[in-house]
Structure 1
Amino acid sequence: MIGFHEGELAVQEKAGVAFDAARLEGMLRPASLDGGAQKFLAQRDFVAITARDGDGRLWTSGMAGLPGFLSSSGSTLTIGTAPGPGDPLHGVPAWQPVGVLVIDLALRRRVRINGELVRSTDGELEIAAEQAYGNCPQYIHPHEVTQPASTLPVVTDGSLGEAATALIEGADTFFLGTAHPTRGADTSHKGGEPGFVRIDGGDLWWPDFPGNNMFNSLGNIAVDPTASLLFLDFSTGTALHLSGTATIDWNAGGETGRAVRFHPTRSVLNSWS
């Protein structure tokens, strides 16, 4: 289905950018991963994916590999690895919507690919893409991807311990996963100066900076509050996965007047794949 869904349209209207957003609707046309997109994917070494585990809980995970571990043909994306043991998406079920973000944190380039996970094994994921489009380099902070050693996860009920708090408070980058009941999942990159994500009691919140006016993430949240966050320590390979719910604050002040508040209900602290 081509076009913005009802949540995206409502947020665009409330933010006063409906006219500008309408000019970008063509980016939502059916995906093609040939040509320049195919070359870009083949040269990357990191991907983030948002999907649901076997219990239906939404998570976002990161995977690293040598250039070439991502390949594409037509509208099919193949990821030559899968979330490992200890990752909340280990053994991720196939035949579900997924949101993929392929990002080069050194070159500050990214491509969002949304579609359906049609095959899932211990060493490979295959995605039938429905949308694929690039995003601007704004707010991307350069990082080198680390290949971490595997460690056992620490699973909690969503409360934030000392290590998780330190990772969040020092982060200049995180990944946000959202979903729509009929239009699938999405993974987006969020960046700012270290400390732009604040902890308030047991919740997190961050300002919503100006972007491309499409409002894919906020549009999903407006319809379905289910959300997931992924924080990475690129120097150690430590990953913090949070699953919970998000809401939009339209009276937050700041540059846009918008902020997102996230309430974690489950967390996993481990090393990413």
Structure 2
Amino acid sequence: MTYHSGSRAVQDRVGVRDLADHVGQAVGQGIRPVAAAFLEQQPMLVAGAADPATGAVWASLLTGPPGFVRATGVRQISVTGRPSEDDPLAAALAAEGTLVGTIALDPRTRRRMRLNGRSRPTAGGFAVEADRVFANCPKYLQRRESYETVGRRPGEASRSGGLSPRQRALVEAADTFFLATVHAHGADASHRGGNPGFVHADGPSELRWRDYPGNSMFLTLGNLEADPRAGLLFLDWTSGTVLRLTGTARAAYAPDGERTVRFTVTGVVETPEGSPLRWSPPEYSPANPSLP
């Protein structure tokens, strides 16, 4: 099924079930040749899953030379390399049958592709057998013209239960983050974008953002309707700092239809220079709403 009861509940609340059914026709299990070619051009992949030991949901960044992610079957992608040992998803992606969501996003072309399924370890990394494959529109994606791979050595990961003032500043300066959610039969990784300041840090343990209008599928909010666990991933696109947050999220619906998501932080893992990619400055999406 494209939608479970959580997504259906949100679609009905907003009044977009018919539109969601139409958009959902583009969701499949197979990886088309154009999608396979897109994957092989990417230097990064975001994966979201639950830690098998704690149940906490995290989103993590994987990088490599183009071709490190590739389609190795009509319903399978293979990833060369694994997360570092201090990555909160290291155990999940090394296990058999982990429910995992992935998103490949190319800032150069403002294209993105999501593939959700089950992972299994391989000799050189891991593979994901797809249950759901689909693309999203370029809405709210910032264009970054180019990147270079620099010789960074990731620093030691630091862990805490809340955000420091510096980390809160990184969050509030972000124009992009990634969001991992789960439900009983799957996991998903999605993208959120906007002008800097679209995410607010109301304290060391509370974030909020407006849920901008999208494709009406409500996969993310539907997952949160069924299971509030979530993981957020913020990147410093210049320095390579990788900031991962885990916690719970809930959506509030205003009478005028506007939605706000509030995220409660329960864990933070920051890796200085965790990404070897240095991207050019952004050209903000013309779809980004103006901020007050």
Which string of whole-angstrom CA distances, capped at 9 and with x for unpartnered residues, describes residues 186-210 of structure 1?
A: 0000000001000123200000001
Tell whether 2:119 aligns with 1:117: yes
Aligned-partner residue type, residue 125 of structure 1 = F
Contact 1:156 1:267 in 2 (8 A): yes
Paired amino acid for 1:138: K
2:160 equivalent in structure 1: 156
Corresponding residue for residue 188 of structure 2: 186
- What is the distance in 1 between the residues matched to 2:2 and 2:158? 40
Partner of 2:127: 126
**Structure 1 counterpart of 2:45, from 32, 44, 47:** 47
Distance 1:140 1:165 in 2: 22
Letter aligned with residue 31 of structure 2: L
Residue aligning to 2:89: 89
Give the conservation status (yes or no) of the 8 Å contact 2:49–2:181: no
Query: Cα distance, 1:179 vs. partner?
Result: 0.4
Shift of the 216–146 alpha-carbon distance from structure 1 to 2, 3 Å rule, reads farther
Shift, 1:142, TM fit: 2.1
In structure 1, the residue matched to 2:61 is: 62
- Cα deviation for residue 106 of structure 1 reads 1.6
Structure 1 residue 217 displacement after superposition: 0.2
State the distance in 1 between where 2:116 and 2:102 align: 6
Tell me if the contact between 1:105 and 1:142 (Cα under 8 Å) persists in the aligned partners: yes
Asked if residue 18 in structure 1 is aligned to residue 17 in structure 2, the reply is yes
List per-residue Cα deviations over 1:26-67 (Å, max 9, x = no partner).
2233x1124111111111111100012242321100111111
Return the offset for 1:185.
0.4
Residue identity opposite 2:232 in structure 1 = L
TM-score normalised to structure 1 length: 0.92
Map of 2:233 onto structure 1: 230
Aligned with 1:98 (options 91, 97, 100)? 100
- Kindly tell me: are residues 269 and 236 of structure 1, through their superposed partners in 2, closer, same or farther at Cα, counting changes over 3 Å? same
* 3-state SS, counterpart of residue 37 of structure 1: helix
How far the C-alpha of 1:257 sits from its partner, in A, is 1.0
- Name the counterpart of 2:289: none
Listed as ranges, the matches of 1:171-210 within 5 Å are 171-182=174-185, 184-201=186-203, 202-210=205-213
Give the letter for the 1:106 counterpart. R
**Pairwise CA RMSD of aligned residues?**
1.7
How far apart are residue 252 of structure 1 and its match?
Answer: 8.3
Q: Percent identity?
A: 37
CA distance in 2, matches of 1:120, 1:203: 38
Which segment drifts farther, 35-44 or 83-92? 83-92
Gaps of 5+ in 2: 276-292
Secondary structure class of the residue paired with 2:143? coil
Matched to 2:142, the amino acid is: H
Quote the offset at 1:119 in angstroms: 1.8
Partners of 1:86 and 1:151 within 8 A in 2 = no
Cα deviation for residue 146 of structure 1 reads 6.0
**Equivalent residues of 1:63, 1:272 under 8 A apart:** no
CA distance in 2, matches of 1:252, 1:167: 32
1:168 alignment counterpart: 171
Residue 120 of structure 1: how far off its partner (Å): 5.5
Amino acid at match of 2:195: E
Unaligned runs of 5+ in 1: none
- Deviation per CA, 1:84-108: give whole Å up to 9, x if none: 1332222433311000001101210
CA distance in 1, matches of 2:255, 2:52: 36
| Secondary structure, aligned partner of 1:24 | helix
Q: Distance in 2 between matches of 1:145 and 1:252?
A: 43
Distance 1:191 1:15 in 2: 21
Contact 1:49–1:62 under 8 Å retained in 2: yes
Residue 76 of structure 1: CA displacement?
0.7
